[in-house]
Structure formats: C-alpha cells, structure tokens
Amino acid sequence: MTDGPKEGFAFIVDTDQYAGNFEREMTAFLTGHIGECEVGEELAEKLPISFDNVMDVADDNGCYRPTSCWKSPKIAKYNSVAIFFESRPTQEQIDFMKERVKSFDEVFKSKSCMAQFNKNKPVINILGFRIIEFKSKVKEESV
C-alpha cells in the first residue's frame, strides 16, 4: 500500500470488496501496466489507446507499482483501486477504463489462480469512479 505520489493523479475505482485481492490485476487489465512484482501480467495486453502517463509509485515495501488499494468513500475500508498517473487521465482514457472495467470480473474469475477468491466472493461490483490530484508544496527560504 502507498499514500500515492507526491505529484500526479489517481483514477479511483470504488468496489464492494477489499481491493487488495485484485488491484494489481485490475490495473493491468484496464491500462496494460504492471509493477515490479509482475502481478497481473496475465491480464496486461496491448490496448487500442495509450496509457503512457501511468506512473509507478513505491509501496510500503519499496516495490514500484502503478496501483494501490485505496480507502472507499464514507467507509474506512480499502475497497477501492487507485491507478496512478503522471498527468490527469484524458477523457478518452477515463471512458475506456470505465467501459473496460465492466468485463473485469468475468476475466478475473477465468484465471485459475483466482479460484479461492472467487469461491468466497464471486462478483466484484463497481460502485463508482473518482479522480484524486496529488500536490506537494515546497517552501524554501534563505537562512
């Protein structure tokens, strides 16, 4: 998990389940990007639009990845997936991810390594989408 980048954006997918079970796979499926850990590689594919502004951020173990679990609105659970971007995702990218995520559950369930997860929670429901902007302030003064 990470607090996000110091500068940049996150496209957030809110779900009804703990996102730590699938955030890397969902990001790979939606953007074609995987992190250093290579989780989700089987779902990453060449997509019809470019996601060259996706950003890798170090998690709390120092592993760089383009995603993290994120707190859901109104509840203190990490049921959301944050996908990090260097610049604000374009409307084309946003629309593509919102449409493509509709088929994620079916594709995710088809992977044999997900059998245990799918037995316990057979459907991942998408509850909504958000954009977060990260800004850091630097103050410098002569001493």
Q: Spell out the domain ranges in the chain.
A: 8-134
Contact residues for 65 (Cβ-Cβ < 8 A; gap 6+): 24, 27, 34, 35, 36, 37, 56, 57, 59
Max intra-chain CA distance, the chain: 62
The whole-angstrom separation of Cα 14 and Cα 5 is 19
| pLDDT tens-place string over residues 67-123 | 999 999 888 899 999 999 999 999 999 999 999 999 998 888 777 555 555 556 668
- What's the token pair of residue 120? 């316990």
Give the pLDDT score at 116: 56
| pLDDT at 30 exceeding the cut of 70 | yes
Contact indicator for 66, 82 with CB cutoff of 8 Å: no
Start-to-end C-alpha separation, the chain: 37
Q: What is the mean pLDDT of the chain?
A: 89
